[in-house]
Structure 1
Amino acid sequence: MIFFNSADLMEEIEALVHRHPNKLSIETMESENKGYEAQVAVVTYCRDRKEDDKSMFRILLTFGQHGRELITSELALRILSILSEEEFLPKLDRKSMNSTLDKLVIKVVPMENLNGRKRVEAGDLCERRNGRGVDLNRNWSVDWGKKEKDYDPYEKNPGTAPFSEPESQIMRKLALSFEPHLWVNVHSGMQALFMPYDHRNTTPDGSSSVKMKKMVNDLNYRHFQGHCMTGSGGGSVGYLAHGTATDYIYDVAKVPMAFTFEIYGDESAPAKDCFRMFNPTNLTTFKAVLNDWSAAFFTLFKFGPQLLGLANSEESAKWVSIDDYLDGYLMSRRNRYGKEMEVFELGLQEIRSYFRLFMLSCIILMFMFCTRISKSKLQRPNAPVLPT
C-alpha cells in the first residue's frame, strides 16, 4: 500500500515538526456541536518563529476536506517535508526559494476531515462527508442550502445550518484569525486550478480576479502543460456548488487570492470505484502527482506575494490602499466581536464608493482652486513705477 493511514500520516507529520522546531510548530483545534466532536491539526511553517511579524505574507492551505481524497493529505506531508528541507525538488533554486520563504508564514491543515477519513479507512471508500454525514464543502454560509436539479443528499448534504459542523467552525475561526493573503483548498477528482466562484458560473470582477487568473494560467502551463481545467469552479465543472469554503474565504473573509486545486482524477474509473477515481493506484503515478504539485505550490509561494505587490518591498508595508485599509478594519472588528460584524461586509462596496467619490471631489475642488489662483495672478495689473 502506497498511502499512509490517517494515524500513521499524522505521526509522520508530528515527528517532522519535532525534528524542526525552528521552522515548524503544530496545534490541535477542537470544536463540538450536539454531541459531535472534531479535531483539526494545524501545522505552522515560519522560520525563526517570526509568526507575529505583520510584514510576513500569510498562506493557508487545507487538505483532506473530503475523506476519500487520500492523495491530498499525502501532498500536505510532501510539502511540509520540502519546507523542512528533508526532501528537495529537482531544479529548485534553493537560494532564491530561501529568500522567499524567509518572508512567509504558511499554515497547513493536513487532514481537515479526520472523522470522514476514518470512515473511508473502515471500508466506505466513496465517503466524502464528515463523521455525521455532512459535506464540509457545502456547509459554509455563501449561498448555503441551495439545491441544484441534480442534488444528491448522500454526496452534497449541507448540514442543518451554515457552520453546523465543528470542522467548518474550526476552519472559519482559523481563517478569520490568521487573515491569510492566499488560500488553497486541495481536492482530487480531476486536474484543475479553480478560482471563485463555485456558486456562480462567472469569476469575480476587479484586479484581484485578474491576478488570480494570471496565477492559475502560469501554474497550468509551467507545471502541467496546459492540461488542467482553469477558471471558476461553477463555470468549469458543469455544475454549481453552494456553500463552499473558497467562496466564503473570498467573498466574506476577503482573502485576495483564493483557489481550489484538484490534483488528480481518473476519468476512466468505474463510478463505484471511488478509490481509483480519486487516488493514484500505482507508485509511479503517485510520485508524479506529488512531485508535480509540490513544484506548483512552491511556484505559488514565490510568485503569489509578487502578484499582490507584497514581496521585496519596504514601501508596501508603509503604503496601504483605502480598499485594503477598509478590509483590514472590518476584518479586525469581526475577529474581535464575532459573527455579528459580518453585516459590515454587506456595505463594504458602498463605503468604498463613497470614499472614492469624496477623494475625487477633493481633487476636483483643489484643481479648480489652483486654476482660479493662477488666473487671478495673470489678470493682476502691473504695479506703478515710483519716480526716483
Structure 2
Amino acid sequence: MTGQTLESFLGFIFFQTFGQHGRELITSELAFRILSILSEEQFLPKKNGVTLNSTLDKLVIKLVPIENSNGRKRVEAGDLCERRNGRGVDLNRNWGVDWGKKEKDYDPSEENPGTAPFSEPETQIMRKLAISFDPHIWINVHSGMEALFMPYDHKNTTPEGLPSLKMRTLLEQVNKFHCQNRCMIGSGGGSVGYLAHGTATDYIYDVVRTPMAFTFEIFGDNQTSSRDCFKMFNPVDLPTFKRVLNDWSAAFFTIFKLGPLHLDENSTKSADKWVSIDEYLDGYLVERKNRYGKNMEVIDVGMQEIKTYFRLFLLSSVLLMFMFCSRIAKSKYGRNSIPVMP
C-alpha cells in the first residue's frame, strides 16, 4: 500500500525481511511461498479461504524477499559459506544499537560490522523502509537452527514488563501450533550462546520502537559438518524442503491472525498523509502520526550524513575564501593599472 493515502485506514502493519545472509537461501524461498499465498497462486492446507481473506483485509504487509542480493550471488556462484554482502560486511552487524563491539570469538569473515553503523546501502535502505513504514510487528527471518527469538541480541536479557510478556506469549503459541514445541524461545543473546552487536531486530525494537520485533530461525541441520554450509543452512531433500515451507508459511499466517490480538488499542495506527518510499528516499519528509498519536516528521540523518554535510561545509568555506581572495587581488591589480589623470 506504499504510495497510497491511508486516511481511513486503521489496521495492523507487518514488516518481514528475508535473505539477509547470502547462504540462507531457504529464507527467500519462504518469502516467495508467502507471496504466492497472498496472491492466491497457492493456498494454505486446511485453511478456509474466506476466513483467511477476512484476516488479511485488516492488515498491511510489507515483505522484502532478498535483502542481500549481492551476497546471494556469491553463494550461487559457489561460495556456499558466504553470509556477508558484496562488500564483505555482515548486514546483521551493521545496525546502530551497540554497533562495533566485538566478542572474544569475533571472526571478521563472519561478523564484519562495516566501517560505521549503516555504512552499507542495504542497511540504509532497510532503516528508511522500517522508519517510514513504522510496523507493529517486525520479523527478520534466518536459518541455521529452529528458534523464535525476541530482543535482545546484544545482551543476555529480554525487555521488561508487559511488552516482553506479550511477545513471549505470541511466540509460545507459534511454537505450540507449528514447531510442536521444539523451537527455542527467548532473547537471541541469551539463547544461542553468544552475543550479537549491531543487529536489525535490536535497532527496530529500541530505536524504531516497533512493539513486537522478532528473529525467526526456520531451519538448521545440526548434524552436518560446519564446512558443509549449504546443508547446514538449507534443506537438501525435497520432502524436508516442502515441510519447511509449509510449516513456516502457516506459522506466518498464524501470526497475521494472532498478532493484532496481542497489541492494545494504543498500537493502532492512523495516517494523515503518506508519501511513497521513492519520494522518501529522494529526501522528502514522511509526515504521519505515530502509534502514540503524536504528529512527527521523520528525518533520518545518521552519522554518515552528518559527516558528509560537514565536509561540504568545509569545502564551500574554502571555495568562498578563494573567491574572496581572488576578487581582492583583481581589484588591487585593476587599481594599479589605471593611469592617474593630471
- Please say if residues 220 and 234 of structure 2, whose CA atoms lie closer than 8 Å, have aligned partners that are also in contact: yes
TM-score, L = length of structure 2: 0.79
Q: 1:267 to 1:51 in 2, by over 3 A?
A: farther
Aligned partners of 1:51 and 1:105 also within 8 Å: no
Residue in 2 that maps onto 1:370:
none
Letter in 1 for 2:50: K
State the shift of 1:325 in Å. Answer: 6.6
Q: Is it true that 1:301 corresponds to 2:256 in the alignment?
A: yes
Counterpart for residue 114 of structure 1: 69
Distance 1:68 1:325, change over 3 A: closer
CA distance in 2, matches of 1:316, 1:137: 29
| Residue number among 67, 70, 76 corresponding to 2:31 in the alignment | 76
Match of 2:189 in 1: 234
Change (3 A) 1:290 1:245: same
**What corresponds to 1:220 in structure 2?**
175
| Distance across 1 between alignment mates of 2:207 and 2:219 | 29
Would you say the 8 A contact 1:254–1:327 is kept in 2?
no
Contact 2:268-2:291 within 8 A present in 1 as well: no
In structure 2, the CA distance between the partners of 1:337 and 1:261, relative to structure 1 (3 Å rule), is: closer
**CA deviation string 1:311-355 (max 9, x = no partner):** xx9x9679xxxxx9785648x33x146459xxxxxxxxxxxxxxx
Alignment of 1:147-296 (within 5 A): 147-296=102-251
Distance between the aligned counterparts of 2:268 and 2:233, measured in 1? Answer: 41
Between the aligned partners of 2:184 and 2:139, the Cα distance in structure 1 is 16
Q: Any unmatched runs of 5+ in structure 1?
A: 1-24, 26-43, 319-323, 341-388
3-state DSSP of counterpart to 2:54: helix
List per-residue Cα deviations over 1:19-38 (Å, max 9, x = no partner).
xxxxxx8xxxxxxxxxxxxx
> Is 2:81 aligned against 1:134?
no
Amino acid at match of 1:204: P
Residue by residue over 1:141-171, the C-alpha shift from the partner in whole angstroms, topping out at 9 and shown as x without a partner, is 1000000111001100000000000000000
The secondary structure found in structure 1 opposite 2:105 is: coil
Q: Secondary structure at the match of 1:258?
A: strand
* Amino acid across the alignment from 1:288: R
Deviations 1:121-149 (A, max 9, x none): 11100000000100000000100000011
Aligned pairs for 1:7-26 (under 5 A) are none
Given that residues 67 and 117 in structure 1 are in contact (C-alpha distance below 8 angstroms), is that contact kept between their aligned partners in structure 2? yes
CA 1:156–1:96: 2 relative to 1, 3 Å: same
Q: Taking CA–CA contacts closer than 8 Å with sequence separation of 6 or more, which of the two structures ends up with the larger relative contact order?
A: 2
Q: How far off its partner does 1:206 sit?
A: 2.4
Return the letter of the residue paired with 1:62.
T
- Give the alignment's Cα RMSD to 1 decimal: 2.3
Q: Identity over aligned residues, as a percent?
A: 68
Shift of 1:50: 7.1
CA separation of 1:309/1:99 partners in 2, compared to 1, >3 Å: closer, same or farther?
A: farther
Contact 2:269/2:290 (8 A) holds in 1: no
The CA deviation at 1:304 is 0.5
| Residue 79 (structure 2) pairs with residue 124 (structure 1) | yes
SS of equivalent residue, structure 2 residue 101: coil
Aligned to 2:339: none
CA shift in 2, pair 1:302/1:326, >3 Å: closer
* Runs of 5+ unmatched residues, structure 2: 271-288, 304-342
The one-character-per-residue Cα deviations of 1:57-83 (angstroms, maximum 9, x if unpaired) are 111000000000000000000000111
Q: Is 2:56 the counterpart of 1:97? A: no
Counterpart of 1:150, as a letter, is D
Work out the CA distance in 2 between the residues paired with 1:282 and 1:337. Answer: 44
Contact 2:11 2:269 in 1 (8 A): no
- Pairwise CA distance, 1:115: 0.5
Q: 1:326 to 1:80 in 2, by over 3 A?
A: closer
Which of residues 5, 9, 21 is equivalent to 1:66?
A: 21
SS of equivalent residue, structure 1 residue 243: coil
Q: Compute the displacement of 1:56 (Å).
A: 2.3
